Structure 1
Amino acid sequence: MEGKEEDVNLGANKFSERQPLGTAAQDRDYTEPPPAPLFEASELSSWSFYRAGIAEFVATFLFLYVTILTVMGVKRSPSMCASVGIQGIAWAFGGMIFALVYCTAGISGGHINPAVTFGLLLARKLSLSRALFYIIMQCLGAICGAGVVKGFQKTPYQVLGGGANTVAPGYTKGDALGAEIVGTFVLVYTVFSATDAKRSARDSHVPLLAPLPIGFAVFLVHLATIPITGTSINPARSLGAAIIYNKDQAWDDHWIFWVGPFAGAALAALYHQVVIRAIPFRSKC
């Protein structure tokens, strides 16, 4: 028995856990980055600042182009079974976000969504000047993406709704607003978790895998809320389609697709910073 106990002790010392549990694991090799300044004048003279904005423009342009064409293809089909259906639309949105976040994360952070940018701004992950620039470029990219689709298929675009978000019959404005708030909360909470600097310091695979859970979150939210609002969770996506489609039904409830995503993003930022990370309660010493 004594020999066996010695073997156990030797094994425990030689093969210790790769990742210890508890606070020691959470704080290993990690320093909390300082909050981004509200305004950073030096950004405005940096090429990387404008390069990031261009990356957001191009990514949102491609996002609208592919997803609106997918929506139109489903609506054009005689039945859901004759097309990719709701599942295909959800995959188009989620898959494009996965691909585009992967491509642009190293340049701009891969936001591709004013709600994501807003949530990160509230968490002081980027400056106000950068956030405003990103949002403007995202909206311009969305407008151009929808515009190119209309340029290719002008008549079908108008007949098939142009991918514009509306409140579906049988649902109230409150239902739609709630769906957009919760859906955006899921997305932005996933973004915070997938890009958390503490997790990146602890687990080297986290930054590499970040686009996957973000894209998958978009996919799942679309499955749940396409029947209610067509799923926005992205004000730029709704604005681009509404401007190019430009019919009353696209504007009647357009406010929902700004208020809902921004409220959901704010709640996700608050939850992550206060509850998950407990940053306001940390000792300053």
Structure 2
Amino acid sequence: MKKMIAEFIGTMTLVLFGCGAAVIAGMGTGPTAIDILGIAFAFGLSIVAMAYGIGMISGCHINPAVSFGVLLAGRMSLSDFIRYVIAQILGALAGAAILAVILSDKAGGWSGGLGQNGWGAGYLGEYGVTAAFVFEAVATFLFLVCILGVTQKGAPSQFAGLAIGLTLTAIHIVGINVTGVSVNPARSIGPAIVGAGGNPAAVAQLWLFILAPMLGAAAAGLLFKSGILSADTE
């Protein structure tokens, strides 16, 4: 239960701060507005904060794709994987709900946007489904290579949270205009479901933000399980 609570809080924080940066500060004007770099760091720093806050309890996966990669790498049980995913999705829904409450109290009104992921005409850089799928799969693969690498035996674990957070920041800098960046099915599910009334297309496109990250994570997990990417000390 401690692990589930930690994963719930961690995923809630990621969605609230990361997506919150995009829809509150990212869409503002004047001195309070931020750009892609600011949004990217909001997601990355959320990971850093939670890695040191809950990492000793649950490992701070806060992402079903991360948990899937860890499972396939042989570092967690199937039962724990199922519990983690449930907690992560509930946490993402809670984070999106909190963000919706804040935005709904804006005097100028609110469009219903919660930083939902997407692709196609009218969405940010208007990239197609192929670009979206390739980016999400490859970016998640590289994200898991970092995570599984810095958390294996012999790695300098005290710097793991920082390395993982900076990797997620870099992924966002490159990919925000492509898909808004998911690499995390829970991060996509929470805003899409809670904000379905304001952006129904996000729900229809959820399949990509579940399938592509899980495939990328699986590839990384299997490479570590096979020993190809494992350090000699493991």
Normalised by the size of structure 2, how large is the TM-score? Answer: 0.90
For 2:207, the equivalent position in structure 1 comes to: 255
Further displaced range: 160-169 or 210-219: 160-169
Give, in angstroms, the shift of residue 91 of structure 1.
0.2
Code of the aligned partner of 1:187 = F
Contact 2:18 2:39 in 1 (8 A): yes
Counterpart check, 1:116 vs 2:97: no
After TM superposition, the structure 1 = structure 2 runs for residues 56-71 of structure 1, keeping only pairs within 5 Å, are 56-71=7-22
Counterpart check, 1:184 vs 2:140: yes
Among 196, 204, 217, the residue aligned to 2:152: 196
For 1:147, the equivalent position in structure 2 comes to: 97
Give, in angstroms, the shift of residue 64 of structure 1.
1.1
Change (3 A) 1:77 1:136: same
Contact 1:72 1:160 in 2 (8 A): no
For 1:239, the equivalent position in structure 2 comes to: 189
Deviations 1:136-162 (A, max 9, x none): 000000000110111122276851621
Q: Which protein shows a greater Rg?
A: 1
Code of the aligned partner of 2:114 = G
For 1:83, the equivalent position in structure 2 comes to: 33
Counterpart check, 1:129 vs 2:79: yes
Change (3 A) 1:258 1:158: farther
For 1:174, the equivalent position in structure 2 comes to: 130
For 1:224, the equivalent position in structure 2 comes to: 174
Further displaced range: 165-174 or 51-60: 165-174
For 1:159, the equivalent position in structure 2 comes to: 111
SS at match of 2:149: helix
Further displaced range: 233-242 or 165-174: 165-174
Normalised by the size of structure 1, how large is the TM-score? Answer: 0.74
Further displaced range: 158-167 or 252-261: 158-167
Contact 1:158 1:245 in 2 (8 A): no
Counterpart check, 1:276 vs 2:232: no
Change (3 A) 1:144 1:82: closer
Residues in 1 aligned to 2:23 and 2:29: alpha-carbon distance in whole angstroms:
12
Identity %: 35
SS at match of 2:116: coil
Relative contact order higher in (CA < 8 Å, ≥ 6 apart): 2
Code of the aligned partner of 1:147 = A
Residues in 1 aligned to 2:26 and 2:6: alpha-carbon distance in whole angstroms:
30
Code of the aligned partner of 1:55 = A
Deviations 1:150-209 (A, max 9, x none): 112227685162111111433211110000001101111100111011x24xxxxx1111
Count of residues in Structure 1 that have an aligned counterpart in Structure 2: 224
Counterpart check, 1:54 vs 2:5: yes
Residues in 2 aligned to 1:217 and 1:51: alpha-carbon distance in whole angstroms:
27
Deviations 1:53-88 (A, max 9, x none): 110001111111111210112443248x86220000
Segments of structure 2 that go 5 or more residues without pairing to the other structure are none
